[in-house]
Amino acid sequence: MASLTARFLTPPLSHTAPSSSARPRTRLFAGPPKVAQPVDAGRLEPRVEERDGYYVLKEKFRQGINPSEKVKIEREPMKLFMENGIEELAKLSMEEIDKEKSSKDDIDVRLKWLGLFHRRKHHYGRFMMRLKLPNGVTTSAQTRYLASVIKKYGKDGCADVTTRQNWQIRGVELRDVPEILKGLAEVGLTCLQSGMDNVRNPVGNPLAGIDPDEIVDTRPYTNLLSQFITSNFRGNPDLTNLPRKWNVCVVGSHDLYEHPHINDLAYMPAMRDGRFGFNLLVGGFFSPKRCAEAVPLDAWVPADDVVPLCKAVLETYRDLGFRGNRQKTRMMWLIDELGIEGFRSEVVKRMPHQWLERESSEDLIKKQWERRDYFGVHPQKQEGFQLRRSSHSCWSCPRR
C-alpha cells in the first residue's frame, strides 16, 4: 500500500502557566529497555510474505507458533469482510456453526477482525461489537444509530464507553451483522480491524479543540491514522496479521491524558528548526505478566510524516515480531531482542526514503506541568463558552 501524506500547519503554542495543585507532575517515560544481545542477520528476515493480497506466515517460521497464529493460517480472517464471507456465515444457525471447527473458529476468533466478540461462555449466540472512533469523537446521528441497534435487543442490548475513547455495543446477534455493517458505513462508522492482532482505536487528547492549554489539536492526526489503518473502511490487509494487538496515541496535552507510556507508539509534540512535528515513544504496554513503559525511539518526524512513520513501525513489528507464547508477543519484546538502535534501524529501512531524523530537543510538553482534573466546569478556548466534563462525556455550552 502506498504511503499517505498530509500537510498540517504549525499550531499556535500556549504559554499559559498551569494552576497550582497537589496532583502528580507529568511523567514522560521510564528508563531504557533491556540491553539486547547481538542479532544474527538471519533474524532480520521478514517472517511473513504477501500471497493473494494478504500477509501470511512463511512455512519456515511456523514451528512453535501459538494457536491464534494457526487459526490465521487455516483461513484468512479478513476474507470475512473483504470477500463477503460474513454474508454466508450470518445465514447459519449457531447449531450449524458449531458442527464444524472452521466455522466455530470463525465466530470465536476470526470475527474479531470485524470487531465482533462472541460471548460463548456467558451469553452464547450474542456478540459484543467494538467500533473505531478516533479521538473519541462521535456525532448525534452516529450515537442515535448505535442506540437503534441495541434497542431491538431489549435487556440484552447495551453500550460501553471504553478507556480508549471508543464505543462497544453488546447483545448483537450474528444474523443482523451484515445489516449493521451497512448502517455503520452510512453514518461514517466502522468496526473493522478493532480486535485481535490489529491496531486499536487511535487515542488523542480528550479535550482536543477546546482546551485553552492544548499543545495541538490531535483530531486531524488520529483521523488520518484511523483512515490509513482501515484503508478508509475498506480493509487494509497489509496491517491485519500483526503478532499481537497494537496501540497508538497522539499527545496534545501537557497533562498526558492520552497515556503515551502504555502505547506501542506515541507521538509527542516537538519543534525542530521552526517545524512542528513529533518525537516518538515506542513499546509501552501492560498485561498480567509484564508492564513496560514506552521508551524513546530517538526519532522525530514532521507532522507530514505521521502516517509513513506509523506504517514503518507497524511493518517492522509485522515482519519481525515473535509469534510463539502470546504473553511475549507484544512489540516491546521485539525491541528488547533487537535493542532500541536495532529496532530503529529496521524502522528506518521501511521509511519512504530510508531516513529518520534523531529526536528533537525542542520538546513542547512541559515536564513540570501539574496534571489537571478535567471533571467539572472549566473555561474553554472559544470565547463565551465553557467546558463541562463528566466521567464519560465532554461538551461545551455558553457561559451564563
293, 262 contact by CB (below 8 A): yes
Burial class of residue 164 in the structure, from the number of CB atoms within 10 Å of its CB (0-12 exposed, 13-18 middle, 19+ buried) = middle
pLDDT (tens digit per residue) in 41-60: 899 999 999 999 999 999 99
215, 254 contact by CB (below 8 A): yes
Q: For residues 218, 213, 389 and 392, what is the CA-based torsion angle, rounded to 10 degrees?
A: 30
**Residue carrying C-alpha cell 494457526:** 70
Rounded Cα–Cα distance for residues 371 and 385 (Å): 22
Q: Phi/psi of residue 299, each to 5°?
A: -150, 150
133, 201 contact by CB (below 8 A): yes
Say which range, 190-199, 280-289, 310-319, has the weakest mean pLDDT: 280-289
300, 272 contact by CB (below 8 A): yes
Rounded average pLDDT over 13-24: 40
pTM: 0.89
Residue-level pLDDT at 23: 42
Average pLDDT over the chain, rounded to an integer: 90
Q: CB count, 10 Å around CB of 323?
A: 23
C-alpha cell at 86: 460474513
3, 311 contact by CB (below 8 A): yes
Residue 71 identity = V
Helix, strand or coil for residue 218? Answer: coil
pLDDT (tens digit per residue) in 220-278: 999 999 999 999 999 999 999 999 999 999 999 999 999 999 999 999 999 999 999 99
Residue-level pLDDT at 30: 47
Residue-level pLDDT at 16: 39
Q: How many CA atoms lie within 13 A of 92 on its CB side?
A: 16
Residue-level pLDDT at 24: 45
C-alpha cell at 68: 491464534
Rounded Cα–Cα distance for residues 344 and 78 (Å): 29
Burial class of residue 267 in the structure, from the number of CB atoms within 10 Å of its CB (0-12 exposed, 13-18 middle, 19+ buried) = buried
| 126-130 and 167-173 beta bridge pairing | antiparallel
